[in-house]
Amino acid sequence: MEKCLLLGNGGREAVLAEYISKGYKLYTVCPYENPTIIEMVNKSYGKYIIADPFDKKIVADFIKENEIEVCLISSDNLLQDGLIDVARELGLKTFGPTSKGAKIEWSKTYALEIVEKLAPEMIIKNYNITDVNQLKSIIDKYEDDSFVVKPEGLTGGKGVKVGGIHFKGKEEGFEYAKSCLETSGNVIIQDKIEGREFTVMALTDGENIVVTPITFDYPYRFDEDKGPGTGGMGCLSFKDGMLPFLEKKDVDECAKLIKNTLKYINKDSIEFNGVIYGGFFKTKNGIKFIEFNARFGDPEALNVLNSLETPFTEVMENIFNKTLNTNNCKFKNNYTFTVYIVTKEYAIENRKEPLVFTMNKDKIQEQGVKVYFANTKNIEGNIYSSVSNSRLFGLTASGETLEEARKKVYNSMKGNIDKKLDYRKDIGNIYEH
């Protein structure tokens, strides 16, 4: 069995660890022992070391010492930092873009430039601002706070702020935009539009794409989409791979943009394979582009990998061989449902001390629900501790109906997760917002 290096330590990497370890021996360099990832390393007779995965020398030495053949990375910062480039230089088969390929995610202006060329009708009116006077005059032109402030670099889903929701009034919007400008030298101001947000993710070998089931993410911290933006509090996908408010032509339009974008990025050499993620809005004036990510979404990966019918490691091989198509990358016909469990402070304030909590993983799993650890480590038995201020663990179930999958997840929590923990109670009520 070949050896595969996975870098990254979130819930997305936990589900990737599960599926990679079905066909490869799993290896990782990790900052702490994520219980799911370590379980999969051990089950597949792989190996891990506790070290900084951003340290290129440590990673390169680990690859060489263990004669690792394959590498998968799906974490934005690791991709931006060029960890795939390190694996490629050592001759590994890689899943994930080079740092240059990942620029569609780490530079919002670059992504907008590409879409402006390839599909100008999908662009929402925007301004790339590089000085404070220009910022002031652009914001002054708006009648009220109906604009969106987008920082240039990676922000883990927490940087984009929408007028009327995340800031109130032009002055507050200006102050936030000014702070973004000071951090990175530019900031994007975009018109606020009405519509429904959705994600189209595609697996790609660099040329061919296969669109995964469309997912609906719940980015806001509290029920009814209140509170700040987060990495994602929950996610669902439908049986036919579509969402109720979308038509096939909508998805085809997004897929066309994704395919043309890949062609554009890979025009000189293959910089991009793995997953390309497009965030879109369906509006009364058509589909509008929001952003690209160069990786699986998190929690979206928990839903999509649980709806793959083809073994994921076969999909990986088809990506390496550039033979990916819809016959060798198939999805099940089911609903999937994910809820992320977090601390009460998550996305509101930083905890000073780690949170120690209990959770009965076996009792949850007995009910047909999968547990994917993220920023959590095991202390002993059912006692765990948070390792940062990010999400703690995700719970995912599948079903013949959305209600079945939803009930499985929410019912499994009863008596099995600590009252100190928090989560959204309204995941799945998509018709209501």
Which residue ranges make up the site for ligand GLY (CB under 6 A)?
157, 217, 231-232, 293, 297-298, 300
- Give the residue with the Cβ less far from ligand GLY, 23 or 232: 232
8 Å CB contact between 191 and 147: yes
The candidate with the shortest Cα–Cα distance to 178, out of 129, 234, 117, is 129
For residue 302, the minimal CB distance to ligand GLY (Å) is: 10
For residue 293, the minimal CB distance to ligand GLY (Å) is: 5
- Give the residue with the Cβ less far from ligand GLY, 35 or 297: 297
Which residues neighbour 143 within 8 Å (Cβ) at sequence distance 6 or greater? none
Q: How far apart are CA 330 and CA 390, in angstroms?
A: 32
- Give the residue with the Cβ less far from ligand GLY, 74 or 376: 74
- Give the residue with the Cβ less far from ligand GLY, 152 or 300: 300
For residue 106, the minimal CB distance to ligand GLY (Å) is: 12
For residue 297, the minimal CB distance to ligand GLY (Å) is: 3
Q: How far apart are CA 342 and CA 94, in angstroms?
A: 32
- Give the residue with the Cβ less far from ligand GLY, 139 or 290: 290
- Residue 241's alpha-carbon distances to 81, 368, 380, in angstroms, are 33, 21, 39
Q: Where are the alpha helices (DSSP H) in 185-277?
A: 248-265
For residue 140, the minimal CB distance to ligand GLY (Å) is: 32
- Residue 112's alpha-carbon distances to 155, 291, 294, in angstroms, are 17, 8, 14
For residue 174, the minimal CB distance to ligand GLY (Å) is: 26
- Give the residue with the Cβ less far from ligand GLY, 26 or 294: 294
- Give the residue with the Cβ less far from ligand GLY, 62 or 280: 280
For residue 236, the minimal CB distance to ligand GLY (Å) is: 12
Classify residue 8 as left (phi > 0), alpha (psi -120 to 50) or beta. left
- Give the residue with the Cβ less far from ligand GLY, 18 or 298: 298
Q: What residues pair up with 286 in beta bridges, in sequence order?
A: 283
Classify residue 417 as left (phi > 0), alpha (psi -120 to 50) or beta. beta
- Give the residue with the Cβ less far from ligand GLY, 250 or 300: 300
Classify residue 300 as left (phi > 0), alpha (psi -120 to 50) or beta. alpha
8 Å CB contact between 234 and 218: yes
For residue 157, the minimal CB distance to ligand GLY (Å) is: 5
For residue 367, the minimal CB distance to ligand GLY (Å) is: 25
Which residues neighbour 133 within 8 Å (Cβ) at sequence distance 6 or greater? none
8 Å CB contact between 41 and 26: yes
Q: How far apart are CA 241 and CA 429, in angstroms?
A: 18
Provide the 3-class DSSP secondary structure of residue 250.
helix
289, two tokens: 């582009």
